[in-house]
Structure 1
Amino acid sequence: MNESPVIAAVTGLTVEVDGRVLVDRVSFRIRAGTVTALVGASGSGKTTTGLALLGEYPPGARVTGEVTVPGTRTGYVPQHPAAVLNPVRRTGALLSDLARQQVQDLPRRRRRPAARQRVAQALADAQLAADEVLGRYPHQLSGGQQQRVVLAQALLQGARLIVADEPTTGQDALTGRRITGRLAAAAGRGIAVLLLSHDLDVVRELADEVLVMRGGRVVEQGPAHRILDAPAHPWTAELLAGPRTLPYADPGHTGAELLTVRGLTARHRNGGTRVPVLSVDRLTLRRGECLALVGRSGSGKTTLARCLVGLHRDHTGQILLDGAALPRSLRDRGREQTAAVQYVFQDARAAFDEHRPVLDQVARTAVRLRGAGRQEAAAEARRVLADLGLDEALVRRPPGRLSGGELQRAALARALLARPRVLVCDEITSGLDPVTRRSLLDLLAELMRRQDGPAVLLITHDLDTAAPATRLAVLDGGRVVEEGPAAELLNSPRHPFTVSLVGASRKWGPAVRP
């Protein structure tokens, strides 16, 4: 048994809001140099429990029990990193400020070089290249880069306990493996980690202790190897079931070319310079098919998605729908063009107005893009949301009262109310537990197989999610390096980057602690 000192203790924690119990009598201890993992479905209470260690609770919460973190500096890596990054400050300025706070005891002449060294070390520990992030604002970073910047912040602040909420969400397999290696290294240095994760491969790699949550309660708890290899509770066994293997689309129903990208070059501004970040000679999506787009975090996947839907205007080349060019800017697209190509954002929380009920925002799509009446739109929104497992009582709340996974499903419902011909899904399963992920992908497949169903561009870092796609395109360094039938590329990759990506996604063994 690990006899390292207890860094934090939770005893009988119960959190209740408006009569709804979010966390129900949860107890556990976290020791220095160990990783404790909370796993379970979206809305099971993982994030509420993790935030309790930071002394944060939902507005109006009634809290009983005890949370003890004696004299420990706690860092937080949230599921939606954009929410904790200052949008008007460049990454370099933000990290430098934190580093300077840590070197105030040094002689003045040594502070600046010491702060620079700390920033460089934190970036290296978080697997970030300084020239890619320091001059950029948060919105110019990919979701994976944002997450690693927040991890660098926690390391800079000298945290002895890190609460990591889905730290590999939005990460490709190569980067995800390096991040788990960094968290394992932190534990090796005596830092305690509370890991909240849907990625059971990451849990298997990192965790010493696992707590399985459902409906706010811990239904199973124990050493990671026992919980993951021989689960005793039926819900744990369901979480551990395999991924979807049936194809999303019906190969016999694939039709003519629907969406075409031709000679596209996209740029981002870095200071006063426009830097090319994406160059695609040709990419197509046919009616009735699913094209999965994979690649390293920051390779240009989200930039391509934003170009397709008119949210990234700084590009040249053409995007064609049925052979007709779409305007570069969403502002210049008509209602029918806007409805035809819909985007489900990776960061669902940032895509909702925090002051309005989710149901109203979902229904608004049908009113605005299809001219539906308000009552008709509300009824359709309730049906689609229910199909995605979100009941009416839940979606009448503002976005802040839903979990990240629940909001991701609501974001998909909002796009579906436009009745799109092309659905661009940007990491829509990354915040979901395995059970909900399988259910969502099954629903997506059902939609695609309908006579009037959308073609889907599925952006994902998870190769298990990409495998049932019709075709696969691999991005590296802003270019498509390989494209073809998904099963063929994943079983026999040809390009060196694809080979490394497939290799990194294989099931991992236990992490080695320094």
Structure 2
Amino acid sequence: MTTTKRDAGVHVQVRGLRVVGSRPGEPDTTIVHGIDLDIARGEILALIGESGSGKTTIALSLMGHARGGCRIAGGTVRVGNTDVLALSARELAALRGRRVAYIAQSAAAAFNPSRTILDQVIESALIHHTMSKAAAQAKAIELFRALALPQPETIGRRYPHQVSGGQLQRLMAAMALITDPEVVILDEPTTALDVTTQVDVLRAFRTVIRERGMTAVYVSHDLAVVGQMADRIAVLSEGVVREIGATAQILQAPEHPYTQSLVAAVTPTDLPARERTTDTTDAPLLEIRRVAAGYGRRDAKGWPEKMILNDIDLTIRRGETVGVIGESGSGKSTLAKVIAGLVPSCGGSVLLNGDPLPRGLHGRTRDQFRRIQIVFQNADTALNPVHTVERTLARPLAFYHGLKGERARRRVAELLELVKLPSSIAQRRTTELSGGQKQRVNLARALAAEPDLILCDEVTSALDTVVGAAILDLLRDLQRQLGVSYLFITHDIAKVRAISDDIVVLYAGHRVESGDRHALSAPPLHPYSHLLVSSAPEPREGWLDEASERCHRPLAPIGDVASDPDLCTFLARCALRVDGVCNRTAPSLRTFGNGAQVLCHRTEADLALLQAEAAPAL
């Protein structure tokens, strides 16, 4: 391997790094402009910025890697005494996964669904011959325990689809850390996680990195998150470092205007006044009455093996937005799929304009399909990568409206204008677009049907703060122009408040609270809603430790739990539970003075007092 001298005390040194992108027949475009960075041994440096700022490109260069269509055109990258950019392909293979490890944003894409988790976690150690298989298995279990994974001795026997998203993210970290790398790169590892899971994952990552003395680079668009992890923060835009400094300085006294705008974007503000534009006495567009649904083989009564939704009620009016919030596994996406007919319900009814919809796809008319459209979370998997934008949008135009040829092309141009994309983008493939552009095309495809209702399933969760805010603004504009209604699914309390008229909180398939956006902005709340609100990251040091204590505070002992299936589903995690009540009888649905409906034994006064004593930032 090629080695060279480096500055004393510096573990990772980047000098004059330049990365360019190129397309056939076009001049090179500079993506990263002469970056200089120093990272001390054991330090965590955050790279933060919007999509396209160059943060992931810089992080990947620490492994001597450039993404497709890009190349490292100049500069040096040193890890220890190794000049990474001077290594051969064979030497780079020995470096990656051994001395420099990478934790990606999508854990699901990093695992092979046909192999057990343990086999995949230890694979890097076996490839690099750092230990025997038995030793690697023992170390993996040790890492599972350090990363606060449940059942560390046996979780490795499962397959990737048998664990939650937060667990899979931590298992991917174990896969990266199994070789005791010198440097670990964390590339947006918590972006798509719900807030309570994010608290657990961040705490686990920070603990393991600190205890093992690793040098880390944390890539993110979220200042509030990196504020809990990083010693220093480098702020990037357009491939240039705009500001670099200690975490406290960046969060509390940012100097560059761009950094100031990022801090302002994550600083909590009061909700602006927003009046309803429709009469709540009007007949609803969509009604959900006591809907139940699940997955797996059905019994003789038609009930599925795994129940996901239980007795869900929900109403959406024309031109309004209902937000649905909850952790992973709460039933949010299943609810959207039931409305769309992708998952047949096993109980209750879904009514569109007062008319019952068939339980599944079979029996629905083309017009019913047209009137309810769904926009999925991941535009990369929702859009066909071999199709141009024009072909993607032309398909629903032909299917629902019979538009072809020049009429279709004109309508495609109109749709692109609606979602604020240039008409020139029509001839590009979706793989050539940014994340925000892809999501706009995803939305334009739904609008092509001219629907009454759009089901937005985590449509901003994989986008950076600025791009996500732009998508929310676009949704509001389209609602004003077209009168379309939304079911907006998210795990982000700030986003659901920003766009929704009414909010429904789901936990373990039950509606535990519902009310308008202002009712869910201050206590009293259902204890689970309170946990969600107080787990939203804040841009200040020390927040993670406070949130961890709230999420994992010791609970008062409780007696035997009755076998009644209607008992509170949040019982095992509730800090406000009452022995002899919550574990014996089902909670009732209470209506509070602010109009919120809360499924809880506690009275409005109880919850207000107890939540005020807890005093989380709301």
SS in structure 2 of the partner of residue 299 of structure 1 = coil
SS in structure 1 of the partner of residue 294 of structure 2 = strand
Q: Does structure 2 retain, via aligned residues, the 8 Å contact 1:353–1:399?
A: yes
Matched, 1:343 2:374: yes
The residue number in structure 1 matching 2:114 is 89
> How far has the Cα of 1:456 moved from its partner?
1.0
The residue number in structure 2 matching 1:509 is 540
Distance (whole Å) between structure 1 residues aligned to residue 464 and residue 124 of structure 2: 38
Distance (whole Å) between structure 2 residues aligned to residue 387 and residue 142 of structure 1: 37
Matched, 1:422 2:453: yes
Distance (whole Å) between structure 2 residues aligned to residue 149 and residue 376 of structure 1: 51
Show the 5 A alignment for 1:431-510.
Answer: 431-450=462-481, 452-468=482-498, 469-505=500-536, 507=538, 509-510=540-541
Render the CA deviation track for 1:345-385: whole Å, top value 9, x for unaligned. Answer: 11221112122223431343323333222444444434444
Aligned length: 504
Q: Does structure 2 retain, via aligned residues, the 8 Å contact 1:83–1:350?
A: no
Show the 5 A alignment for 1:358-373.
Answer: 358-373=389-404
Render the CA deviation track for 1:432-459: whole Å, top value 9, x for unaligned. Answer: 3333232221221122233x42111111
Distance (whole Å) between structure 1 residues aligned to residue 426 and residue 176 of structure 2: 33
> How far has the Cα of 1:141 moved from its partner?
6.7
**Greater mean alpha carbon deviation, residues 50-59 or residues 12-21:** 50-59
SS in structure 2 of the partner of residue 339 of structure 1 = helix
Distance (whole Å) between structure 1 residues aligned to residue 506 and residue 105 of structure 2: 24
> How far has the Cα of 1:129 moved from its partner?
9.1
**Greater mean alpha carbon deviation, residues 251-260 or residues 465-474:** 251-260
Render the CA deviation track for 1:21-62: whole Å, top value 9, x for unaligned. Answer: 333323323333322222222222233333333444233324
> How far has the Cα of 1:508 moved from its partner?
5.3
Match of 2:104 among 58, 78, 84: 78
Unaligned runs of 5+ in 2: 1-6, 83-94, 546-618
Show the 5 A alignment for 1:75-474.
Answer: 75-86=101-112, 88-89=113-114, 93-99=116-122, 102=125, 114=138, 117-118=141-142, 120-121=144-145, 124=148, 135=158, 138=161, 147-156=169-178, 158-189=180-211, 190-242=213-265, 245-246=271-272, 250-252=276-278, 255-269=282-296, 274-313=305-344, 315-330=346-361, 332-393=363-424, 396-450=427-481, 452-468=482-498, 469-474=500-505
Distance (whole Å) between structure 2 residues aligned to residue 30 and residue 128 of structure 1: 36
Distance (whole Å) between structure 2 residues aligned to residue 129 and residue 296 of structure 1: 22
SS in structure 2 of the partner of residue 257 of structure 1 = coil
Unaligned runs of 5+ in 1: none
SS in structure 2 of the partner of residue 459 of structure 1 = strand
Q: Does structure 2 retain, via aligned residues, the 8 Å contact 1:210–1:227?
A: yes
Q: TM-score w.r.t. structure 1 length?
A: 0.85
Q: Does structure 1 retain, via aligned residues, the 8 Å contact 2:248–2:540?
A: no
SS in structure 2 of the partner of residue 238 of structure 1 = helix
Match of 1:67 among 47, 52, 77: 77
Q: CA RMSD in A?
A: 3.5
**Greater mean alpha carbon deviation, residues 324-333 or residues 172-181:** 324-333
> How far has the Cα of 1:430 moved from its partner?
1.9
> How far has the Cα of 1:326 moved from its partner?
2.6
Render the CA deviation track for 1:229-277: whole Å, top value 9, x for unaligned. Answer: 333333222233347844777344554222222333332349x993222
Larger Cα Rg: Structure 1 or Structure 2?
A: 2
SS in structure 2 of the partner of residue 240 of structure 1 = helix
Distance (whole Å) between structure 1 residues aligned to residue 328 and residue 9 of structure 2: 36
Q: Does structure 2 retain, via aligned residues, the 8 Å contact 1:96–1:115?
A: no
In the superposition, relative to structure 1, how do residues 398 and 176 fare at CA in structure 2: closer, same or farther (>3 Å)?
Answer: same
**Greater mean alpha carbon deviation, residues 366-375 or residues 153-162:** 153-162
**Greater mean alpha carbon deviation, residues 366-375 or residues 390-399:** 390-399
Distance (whole Å) between structure 2 residues aligned to residue 316 and residue 288 of structure 1: 27
Matched, 1:42 2:51: yes
Distance (whole Å) between structure 2 residues aligned to residue 360 and residue 128 of structure 1: 48
Distance (whole Å) between structure 2 residues aligned to residue 408 and residue 493 of structure 1: 36
Q: Does structure 1 retain, via aligned residues, the 8 Å contact 2:11–2:40?
A: yes
The residue number in structure 1 matching 2:85 is none
Distance (whole Å) between structure 2 residues aligned to residue 249 and residue 56 of structure 1: 51
